[in-house]
A and B are shown apart, each in its own frame.
Chain A
């Protein structure tokens, strides 16, 4: 059937009539919501969706407002990156096994891509996966892995063939974070806490069923993850924006206002509005089936705006800006760019232009893929990975 606003709203109402969100166990309620196709309506039926247009999700969310949610701040990597990748490249069995507990929040996911020697140049990564019978044996080290300490599964990119150029010898796996040989150590961040970790993989054995996509096709699968990561970081409609947070501070502290800050704040307000409109236009293009190149720019704009706004807020606060709420070394369960106080927001925003592809790399992508400017001369093309200069 073809879904529209009315029929999705009707389905949500019928679901609510049959499932009392107050009386039911939270997890049972979420599982039932998934089974009713109201988790992500654009996913196929049977996998938490209705096969409906993506923008109708807002209708389901609106109808189900106030009911238990899946705490998206805990499972951002699962929702934003793992789910679309599994949907695009997973086997039927993998989709059935992973998507439901991913969405309900029963299973947290992390992303095991970056390594000490491979960040922006991700394709140069060195973690090895060697086939032994029906199993793969993994050895290597991952780094900057957000939520590895809470994760049940990891999206992992490993080298299966060192004898071919770097992009070609990669394979994509789902890593069992409970497997023997997986060791997660916290890495303390500039905020004081440890959202990310380093992950050591020593003789980790993964069954063949945990390979995602074909052997040697890992780079293509990883592209889907990375594309979704940028959209997840930069383009999602959010409940609250950094602009609103800073505007509230401005309104509640009239004694701190100066003309200079006012000018700069208005400038950033305009930029926020322009970004909101650009994202709205992008979503319209997507809905009309013409994904525009604006997508690659959203994360770039988002990072700059977050950094400038949060920096302005600390400056605006003057004496209070000299303080900081808490440097205690913690391992948080959620990621919240807007959480805590101004100093935290300022420091956390610094990561926005690094995580998910740095702003420099995003500018390269826009320049080459959108504007068609020539690539830099490269030393690593057509050279087997094992022969690259190190």
Chain B
């Protein structure tokens, strides 16, 4: 297991970065945020089909690239660096992980469509859900095989063709696939209502299902939804790489600015109060890189979830929780320093710093807060809480 980047990973990074430099400049992202179509469907199509990022986590026999969490992590670093408004995390990570855990023919067929970039999916679970306490399903499966219920705070729903919905059964739970625009159905509807979101580049939405026709992908006997827990945990581990990308952009942009900006007849970056803050931030980011790489490597080593509590599962949980507990806060700190050290310009709508601040702050809450992840470490670290 290496914490460095392999050559293949660097090539993938370069391809994604080139495309984003061309098609996803900060001003382009800023121009889109209030346009009514917050997600960039064209950019996503190119990323998914031409670079093939949609199928990274999908095994080859299902039509995917058969790559691993390590490659997905590198893509997320670049997407974070550009605050790119594409549903990679929503579809190619969260929904894909849920489907991989569900297994079976129907899920496999859907994974093939996602990998080929023919369809985009979203997991109809609040983005703020913690993998350590996944919410109970907000929707129910009727006897007629349709889904009814409302889920708030979902990412990627506006651009999804298929929604993966955890549902209650009379006994147990199930994961269902619901087409976003049900064709020729008898009155069933799916309504996606965008919410005014803190994060302008990855907004949330409320999804309401009313007797929407559904396909059952997997069922579980108890109250738990293992597909959701696994997707949230693995998604949290990979989100650390996006947070790393955000933090790196913020540091690089801030360093470049304070080297140029002059006050008191010298660059403001020559003042020690500024230098020391940036040195501390650099150190936090060096730690974030190591922790995010470690989480990706551990996830790649154990692509299929083992039984909870076995050694590999514990190693994955520790790596994910450490990465999230650290990287979530580092991205926010980097974005806050970016705003502060830009002075007035950092406070403007015109400068892209706020896009990063909003993404970083939303990411800190997403898939469990740093506090949730720290608490999850008490067991594995053998640091028991007070009785």
Contacts and interface: CB of A to CB of B under 8 A. Distances in A.
Interface string A293-307: 010010011000000
B282 A371 contact: yes
Interface in B350-386: 371, 374-375, 377-378, 381-386
B286 A294 contact: yes
A251 B374 contact: no
Given A247-B382, A251-B382, A266-B377, A372 B255 contact: yes
B283 A274 contact: no
Nearest to B385: A262
B293 interface: yes
Given A250-B383, A262-B386, A364-B275, A273 B322 contact: yes
A262 B379 CA distance: 12
Contact of B269 (A263, A274, A362, A374): A374
A375 interface: yes
A373 B275 contact: yes
A277 B386 contact: no
A278 to B, nearest CB: 4
Contacts of A179: none
Contacts of A254: 384, 386-387
B326 A270 contact: yes
B377 A257 contact: no
Interface stretch (A21-29, A113-121, A211-219, A279-287): A279-287
B244 to A, nearest CB: 12
B291 to A, nearest CB: 5
Given A277-B3, A281-B3, A371-B279, A270 B377 contact: yes
Nearest to B274: A373
Given A368-B275, A372-B255, A374-B267, A266 B378 contact: yes
Contact of A270 (B272, B280, B325): B325
A371 B290 contact: no
A324 to B, nearest CB: 26
A19 interface: no
Contact of B278 (A251, A271, A284, A367): A367
Nearest to A258: B386
A5 interface: no
B322 A274 contact: yes
Interface in B270-325: 270, 272, 274-276, 278-280, 282-283, 286-291, 293-294, 318, 322, 325
B276 to A, nearest CB: 4
Contacts of A275: 287
- Label chain B's interface by main secondary structure: helix
Contacts, number: 130
Nearest to A247: B383
A266 B272 contact: no
Nearest to A285: B4
Contacts of A262: 378, 383, 385-386
Contacts of A360: 276
A25 to B, nearest CB: 42
B342 to A, nearest CB: 15
A262 B384 CA distance: 8
Contacts of A373: 255, 258-259, 267, 269-270, 274-275, 278
B170 interface: no
B243 to A, nearest CB: 13
Interface string A346-390: 000000000000001011101110111111110000000000000
Contacts of B384: 251, 254, 257
Contacts of A273: 291, 318, 322
A276 B311 CA distance: 20
B374 A274 contact: no
B383 A266 contact: yes
B341 to A, nearest CB: 11
B263 interface: no
Greatest chain B CB density within 10 A among A266, A284, A300 is at A266
Interface residues of A, number: 44
B266 interface: yes
Contacts of B27: none
A269 interface: yes
A257 B381 CA distance: 15
A288 interface: yes
Contacts of B288: 274
B383 A269 contact: yes
A280 B283 contact: no
Nearest to A274: B287
Nearest to A275: B287
Interface in A218-257: 247, 250-251, 254, 257
Nearest to A257: B386
A250 B381 CA distance: 12
B39 to A, nearest CB: 33
B289 A281 contact: yes
A265 interface: yes
B2 interface: yes
Contacts of B318: 273
A318 interface: no
B320 to A, nearest CB: 12
A259 interface: yes
B8 to A, nearest CB: 16
A224 B267 CA distance: 31
A277 B291 contact: yes
Given A297-B283, A367-B276, A374-B269, A259 B4 contact: no
A297 B286 contact: yes
Greatest chain B CB density within 10 A among A281, A370, A372, A375 is at A281
Interface of A: 247, 250-251, 254, 257-259, 262-263, 265-267, 269-271, 273-275, 277-278, 280-281, 284-285, 288, 294, 297, 300-301, 360, 362-364, 366-368, 370-377
Kindly list the 4 A-B residue pairs having the minimum CB-CB distance in the complex, ordered from nearest. A367-B275, A257-B386, A277-B290, A366-B279
Interface of B: 2-4, 255, 258-259, 266-267, 269-270, 272, 274-276, 278-280, 282-283, 286-291, 293-294, 318, 322, 325-326, 371, 374-375, 377-378, 381-387
9 contacts: A257-B386, A265-B383, A273-B322, A274-B291, A277-B294, A364-B272, A373-B274, A373-B275, A374-B266
Given A273-B318, A274-B287, A277-B290, 13 more contacts: A250-B383, A254-B387, A259-B385, A262-B383, A266-B377, A266-B381, A269-B383, A274-B322, A277-B3, A277-B322, A366-B283, A371-B275, A376-B270
